[in-house]
Structure 1
Amino acid sequence: MPTSRRHAIPNLPTPDFTYDPHAAGACVAGVRPFRNGSYRLDSELASGRFVVHNYGHGGAGITLSWGCAAKVAEIVKKRIAVSHDTQVAVLGAGVMGLTAATLLRDLGLEVTIYADRNPVETTSHKAGGQWAVSVVAFAGKEQELKGIIKTSYTTFKNSIGAGFGVSEVPNYSREVTPGLEVVRRLAPGLMPERESLMRMPFENHTKPGFKYQTLLVEPPIFLLRLENDLSARGVTIEPRQFISKSDVFSSLPQKVIVNCTGMGAKKLWNDQDMEPIKGQLAMLPKQPALKYLYGQDGYMFPRSDAVIIGSTFEVGVDNETIDPAKCKSLVRHIAALFGQAVPVAMPEYHIHHPRNARLFDPTLPTGV
């Protein structure tokens, strides 16, 4: 059961919300590869190829990456025990492709990644980085997701201090955080229990809230480490843009193909369940004194490279055009909660609005 902290709580440092939305790199945009119904993690035989699909994880790609990669490796291992194939093609250089390639290389396979973007150009690189199962559907896959969650969390936690950009940090939230509540429900005891607070420990905060102890994964550090490790082990990333599934089969020599193309699967595999959800982030200068994550109808993640404030939630929008006005509103909203700006109505496109939670986990109670 959650515990209550009724003693006086000193205020934690207040962020500096000075922000120029038009400065270079101050606003970034990416498209989450959301799949209606559930993510896809399965295999099929097509045109003489063994294809493993691993995509549709929405905003939880980094969070679920190691767990999904372990499932991919398990599927491929069973296949090659019979087929004796030694070469594997991985499609996509986002976090799903890089982690899958890592574990496939662990099997002793010759792995080549084919992608139309380098890791630094992918949506994975633009992610905020909190470890939480957010913006992903998983209808009918609760047991599978439970295993994925456990593997991912354990792998990330064991990599703290090893150069993967992972740290354990508190997350303070005005309301329960759906992406972390999924973890509490499916894998109780995996993470430290949340704490109920009489008040949030920040300037201008007087209402109750919650404290979670979770992980922060910094995508720029994590992806670069994966890329460098793969390169050192002989895994290359080949620039390639496929126009269709038949193009994939006709142009690649490998008999085993792992499809980690995210939104690209909508076109390549004609997956009409794929739906883009655009997200924009405001990037404030780094502030080393901030050692916590924060969420209240939006979020703030202090990383070593920047303070990330997000995020927008634009269903059906499939472009990465930045909107400085929206990024400015994200900052202004969080700043107002700390008493550092005039309060404003929360924009309808904020991702953390409670009414969005049940879109991705319909088992959550109404009002969460």
Structure 2
Amino acid sequence: MLLDERGVSTLPDLPTPDFAFDPHQPGACVAGLRPYRKNSYRLDKEVLGDKFVIHNYGHGGGGITLSWGCAAKVRDMILKRQAETGIIEREIAVIGAGVMGMTAATLLLDLGLNVTIYSDRKPVETTSYKAGGQWAASILEYSKDFAKVQEFQYILRTAYTMFKASIGKGFGVSEVDNYSVNTTSGIDVVHDLVPGLLPPREYLQRLPFEGHNTSGYRYRTLLVEPPIFIPRLERDLRARGVTFVSRRFINSTDVLTSLTQKVVINCTGLGAKDLWNDNQMISYRGQLAMLRPQVNLEYLYGQNGYLFPRHDHVVIGGTVEESDDEVFDPETCRGLVEYMAGVFGQTPAVPMPEYHVHHPRNERLVDPRLSIAP
């Protein structure tokens, strides 16, 4: 332990990122649309004609974080139906090839079922692949419905446990420190709902970075790297006999009449707005600046925006705007880098790129700037 002149514990400065960046280089900028739902994610079941449909979508910027937990709830719904009806439908249709669809498919395979995934996008084209990757809850589920709170606790606990168990097994998951100037509500909500799941946050008299003279916090959480995790899920599913079918459905009637499977798992994210007439869905665009990879950086950082060093890039993000347009703006990405470089004292300080966020009344969301998705 190091002590400063006042006898207060302090830490040696950690490496400073190299902020060299050209937003016009291929792959330097990324934009994705977070699938928010006004009144919380949807995770329920219904019978439509001869089809048993489970809906699993609307997780906002927390899709990767919640994925294994939501997949476990989908599996449990299937098991409960089997127990109640005595009928085992072996053929399952999963709609959506993002993280929700592929994790659900994985756990359904473990039940000995045959799964086919239908999607109009390849896994590497989904928003899941564009996520930043920090494990944190980006949606706040403090509902008066006690059962809903219990469900969210189960999802968080299950997802974290499964991700942590996959560390070192080729899924792109690691345990890391997150340094933040302010408390991070996306992680604090986990501390509140599932005490003891994550190590307690630590208050620091000074954050250990060049250009910093302020206090802050250190959290211990997980980093899930989508460019490793998403392809690994797809490879494993294909190796286990899952077929990926390129298919765009027109509406729910098209789904119900054209699929031969009697069980349908709906993991369509923003697609649910049109496909299932869910007008509670809202798309928030997030943009990411992708710096070159820097193996000496082994921490996450947050101050308005965020900086996540991964194997493929150092990712800088944090912008949010209500939009259906998935096109990035090079100048916004440049602004992200300039802002973060200023925070680290490498360039003159500049403001974070402006947010344009509208939250409809009664919406239960953590500040989207704390989201893990782009």
TM-score bucket (shorter structure): over 0.9
Structure 1 counterpart of 2:28: 26
Structure 2 counterpart of 1:338: 344
Structure 1 counterpart of 2:40: 38
Q: Which amino acid aligns with 2:218?
A: K
Quick one: distance in 2 between partners of 1:164 and 1:285?
A: 21
Quick one: distance in 2 between partners of 1:22 and 1:216?
A: 27
CA contact (8 A) 2:96 2:268 kept: yes
Structure 1 counterpart of 2:237: 230
Quick one: distance in 1 between partners of 2:265 and 2:228?
A: 24
* Aligned pairs, number: 351
Superposition TM-score, scaled by structure 2 size: 0.91
Q: Which amino acid aligns with 1:318?
A: D
Name stretches of at least 5 consecutive residues in structure 2 with no aligned partner.
1-6, 358-362, 368-374
Quick one: distance in 2 between partners of 1:105 and 1:52?
A: 16
Alpha-carbon shift at residue 76 of structure 1 (Å):
1.0
Structure 2 counterpart of 1:220: 227
Alpha-carbon shift at residue 18 of structure 1 (Å):
0.4
Q: Which amino acid aligns with 1:106?
A: D
Three-state SS of the structure 2 residue aligned to 1:59 is: helix
Deviations 1:195-249 (A, max 9, x none): 0000100001011000000000000110111101100110111000001000001
CA contact (8 A) 2:10 2:204 kept: no
Quick one: distance in 2 between partners of 1:215 and 1:197?
A: 20
Structure 2 counterpart of 1:309: 316
Q: Which amino acid aligns with 1:12?
A: L
Match of 1:266 among 260, 273, 283: 273
Deviations 1:143-202 (A, max 9, x none): 211110000000000000000000000000000011101101000110011000001000
Structure 2 counterpart of 1:280: 287
CA contact (8 A) 1:286 1:304 kept: yes
Structure 1 counterpart of 2:89: 85
Q: Which amino acid aligns with 1:86?
A: R
CA contact (8 A) 2:10 2:206 kept: no
Deviations 1:245-267 (A, max 9, x none): 00001110000000000000011
**CA RMSD, aligned part only?**
1.5
CA contact (8 A) 1:59 1:136 kept: no
Residues 180 and 200 (structure 1 numbering): CA distance in 2 closer, same or farther, change over 3 Å? same
Q: Which amino acid aligns with 2:97?
A: A
Tell me whether 140-149 or 319-328 shows the greater mean CA deviation.
140-149
CA contact (8 A) 1:279 1:314 kept: yes
Quick one: distance in 1 between partners of 2:138 and 2:69?
A: 15
Alpha-carbon shift at residue 135 of structure 1 (Å):
4.5
Structure 2 counterpart of 1:360: 365
Quick one: distance in 2 between partners of 1:253 and 1:133?
A: 36
Three-state SS of the structure 1 residue aligned to 2:60 is: coil
Alpha-carbon shift at residue 114 of structure 1 (Å):
0.2
Alpha-carbon shift at residue 95 of structure 1 (Å):
0.1
Instruction: Between the two structures, name the one with larger relative contact order (CA 8 Å, sep ≥ 6).
Output: 2
Structure 2 counterpart of 1:241: 248
Structure 1 counterpart of 2:119: 115
Quick one: distance in 1 between partners of 2:201 and 2:314?
A: 24
CA contact (8 A) 1:60 1:136 kept: no
Deviations 1:250-294 (A, max 9, x none): 110000000000000011110011000111100000000000000
Match of 1:17 among 9, 19, 22: 19
Name stretches of at least 5 consecutive residues in structure 1 with no aligned partner.
352-357, 363-368
Alignment of 1:150-161 (within 5 A): 150-161=157-168
CA contact (8 A) 1:164 1:225 kept: yes
